């Protein structure tokens, strides 16, 4: 296809496609899908080789968020039966992080539900970052705490944070239909605060909320303009008990086209497959590795992912390799620019050395603040660690129009906030 040849040539020159070309990628047919994946793969290999960066989520505080993000299982009024607990202590968070690092994770993403942190919360997270870095040499740490106030990004940077995640989630035009308690502009402001403080900016999107192709293209171009080093691509997990529980709009083919469009618009940026990959990509996950260069290992904020060993096997079987702590994530020109701006890791230098951070971690965005894993953006006061309910028996697969697989949506019952071992 002339379109794909043009997109590859532009990607190798770090030149973005036109809006019309980006929209055309989303409009390609299933007969053209492998050609689309192959074209995006050429761009991915130019800038990231065959490396896959592993990121690991630690949900520091779960549930009871005062924000009303429609996609989030932790939102105000959510009836999703998720884990609810208050702040993990630094040593608890450090132990949780160590499990992910042992599994091969290069970056730990610290996420807390809530509208945004208080100054006391920032101090608490700072102590947690210090504890994690003392126990795990060379690990990158990304914080994801919601909307930031003046000076908070700088304090996180001083405490050793390398990156900050705050997703735009959807286009400015549709944002008001998803969330009422804060604005799209609030989110942009937080990403800009993180960038200005020398943190690597991680910001992504959630696909599958009923948006149009134009909205997907709009938000990806906005992320490019913001200078996001890492773009987590989340696929909506329709949790029962949330307003978007019936939004099953994605197929594996659609997800691959979305990832390819993101890669063409952001050719030299870390593109992370985040929350929802197991639910929507399913057996097509290995193909997605030819487009994206980063994934989350194991479970997400409030939902279960596939076993960490299954992730490692998938990467090896697809002919890729796990990116080591001594290997820069970002291409040299991006890592150098970040280092010049005072950013942290991803350049291969020790985390916190100010050598340039090269990625973020996206949470998958199971929430609004969510670290690229869509499920945890903002939270009010929580109680203590909740008792862990017995896992419910998984329902049989339902024949729902659009290929819905409700049997694949499982609430996390292990790892952080529980007495059970994590899925790393």
Instruction: Choose among 156, 144, 169, 140: nearest CA to 53.
Output: 140
Provide the pLDDT confidence category of residue 188 given band limits of 50, 70 and 90.
very high
Q: Where are the domains of the chain?
A: 44-340
The mean predicted confidence, pLDDT, of the chain is 86
382 flagged as catalytic: no
331: which 2 tokens? Answer: 């291409």
Tokens 């989030």 — which residue?
A: 72
Phi-psi label, residue 321: left if phi above 0, alpha if psi -120 to 50, beta otherwise: beta
**Cβ atoms 201, 330 nearer than 8 A:** no
Catalytic-role residue among 44, 51, 107, 109: 109
Told to judge if 345 belongs to the known catalytic residues of this protein, a careful annotator would answer no
- Distances, alpha carbon 11 to alpha carbons 94, 267, 387, in Å: 39, 5, 50
Q: pLDDT digit string (tens) for 248-257?
A: 999 999 999 9
Average pLDDT value for residue range 93-120: 94
Select which of 69, 255, 345, 382 is catalytic.
Answer: 69
Separation of alpha carbons 270 and 338, rounded Å: 13
255 is catalytic: no
Alpha-carbon distance 163 to 345, whole Å? 8
Give me the mean pLDDT over the 327-332 stretch: 94
**Which of 44, 51, 254, 272 is an active site residue?**
272
Instruction: Please indicate whether residue 385 or residue 78 has the higher confidence score (pLDDT).
Output: 78
Residue 418 has pLDDT above 90, yes or no: no
**Least confidently predicted of 13-27, 61-75, 126-140, 349-363:** 349-363
CA 257 vs CA 179, 213, 281, 287: distances in Å: 26, 11, 11, 11
The answer to whether 364 touches 232, Cβ cutoff 8 Å, is yes
266 flagged as catalytic = no
pLDDT band at 420 (very low <50, low <70, confident <90, very high): confident
CA 266 from chain center: how many Å? 15
* 306 vs 81: which has the higher pLDDT: 306
pLDDT at 181 over 80: yes
Residue 373 predicted with pLDDT over 80: no
CB neighbour class for 140 (10 Å; exposed up to 12, middle 13-18, buried from 19)? buried
Q: Is residue 331 helix, strand or coil?
A: coil
Half-sphere exposure of 100 (CA within 13 A, CB side): 29
C-alpha distances (whole Å) from 47 to each of 222, 255, 332, 334 are 21, 22, 9, 10
pTM: 0.87
Distance separating alpha carbons of residues 368 and 377, to the nearest angstrom: 4
pLDDT for the residue numbered 321: 98
- Write down the pLDDT at residue 44: 98
Beta strands 163-165 and 200-202: pairing type? parallel
pLDDT tier, 80 (very low <50, low <70, confident <90, very high otherwise) = confident
CB 411 within 8 A of CB 110: no
Is residue 365 helix, strand or coil?
strand
Q: Tens of pLDDT along 268-286?
A: 999 999 999 999 999 999 9
**Mean pLDDT calculated for residue range 341-355:** 46
Distances (CA, A) of 268 to 40, 131, 326, 335, 405: 12, 32, 19, 11, 33
- Distance from C-alpha of 204 to C-alpha of 60, rounded to nearest angstrom: 20
Catalytic site residue 109? yes
pLDDT for the residue 402:
52
According to the model, what pLDDT value does residue 403 have?
62
User: Helix, strand or coil for residue 137?
Assistant: coil
- Which run of H or of E encompasses 348? none
pLDDT of 305 over the 50 cut: yes
Q: Measuring CA to CA, how many Å separate 134 from each of 219, 224, 263, 297, 353?
A: 37, 34, 35, 22, 14
| DSSP β-bridge partners for residue 400 | 404
Question: Region 17-39: what's the mean pLDDT?
Answer: 98
Q: Which of 44, 65, 144, 257 is catalytic?
A: 65
Six-digit token string for 264: 């063409």
The pLDDT-based confidence of 363 (bands split at 50, 70, 90) is very low
- pLDDT at residue 240, as a whole number: 84
Q: What is the mean pLDDT of residues 137-162?
A: 97
Report how far residue 308's alpha carbon sits from residue 74's, in angstroms, rounded to the nearest whole number: 24
Residue in this structure with the two tokens 């091969």, named with its chain if needed: 104
Tell me the CATH number for domain 44-340.
Answer: 3.20.20.70
For the beta carbon of residue 420, count every other beta carbon within 10 angstroms.
12
């Amino acid at each position: 296809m002339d379109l794909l040849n043009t997109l590859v040539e532009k990607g190798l020159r770090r030149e973005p496609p036109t809006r019309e070309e980006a929209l055309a990628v989303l409009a390609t047919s299933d007969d053209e899908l492998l050609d689309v994946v192959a074209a995006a793969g050429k761009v991915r290999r130019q800038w990231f080789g065959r490396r896959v960066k592993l990121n690991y989520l630690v949900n520091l505080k779960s549930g009871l968020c005062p924000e009303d993000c429609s996609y989030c299982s932790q939102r105000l009024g959510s009836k999703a039966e998720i884990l609810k607990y208050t702040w993990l202590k630094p040593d608890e968070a450090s132990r949780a992080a160590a499990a992910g690092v042992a599994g091969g994770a290069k970056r730990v993403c610290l996420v807390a539900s809530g509208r945004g942190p208080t100054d006391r919360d920032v101090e608490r997270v700072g102590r947690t970052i210090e504890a994690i870095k003392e126990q795990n040499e060379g690990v990158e740490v990304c914080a994801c705490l919601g909307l930031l106030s003046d000076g908070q990004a700088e304090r996180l940077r001083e405490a050793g944070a390398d990156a900050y995640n705050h997703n735009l989630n959807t286009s400015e035009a549709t944002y008001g239909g998803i969330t009422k308690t804060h604005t799209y502009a609030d989110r942009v402001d937080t990403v800009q605060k993180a960038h200005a403080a020398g943190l690597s900016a991680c910001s992504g999107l959630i696909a599958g909320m009923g948006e149009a192709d134009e909205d997907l293209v709009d938000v990806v171009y906005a992320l490019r303009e913001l200078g996001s080093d890492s773009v987590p691509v989340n696929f909506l997990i329709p949790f029962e008990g949330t307003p978007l529980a019936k939004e099953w709009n994605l197929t594996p083919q659609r997800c691959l086209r979305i990832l390819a469009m993101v890669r063409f618009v952001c050719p030299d940026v870390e593109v992370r497959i985040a929350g929802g990959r197991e639910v929507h990509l399913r057996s097509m996950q290995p193909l997605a590795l030819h487009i994206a260069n980063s994934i989350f290992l194991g479970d997400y904020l409030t939902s279960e992912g596939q076993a960490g060993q299954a992730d490692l096997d998938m990467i090896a079987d697809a002919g890729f390799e796990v990116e080591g702590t001594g290997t820069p994530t970002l291409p040299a020109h991006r890592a150098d620019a970040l280092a010049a701006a005072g950013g942290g890791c991803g350049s291969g230098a020790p985390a916190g050395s100010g050598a340039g951070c090269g990625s973020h971690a996206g949470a998958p965005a199971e929430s609004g603040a969510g670290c690229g894993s869509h499920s945890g953006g903002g939270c009010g006061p929580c109680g203590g660690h909740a008792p862990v309910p017995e896992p419910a028996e998984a329902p049989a697969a339902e024949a729902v129009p659009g290929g819905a697989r409700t049997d694949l949506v499982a609430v996390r019952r292990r790892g952080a906030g529980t007495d059970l071992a994590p899925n790393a």
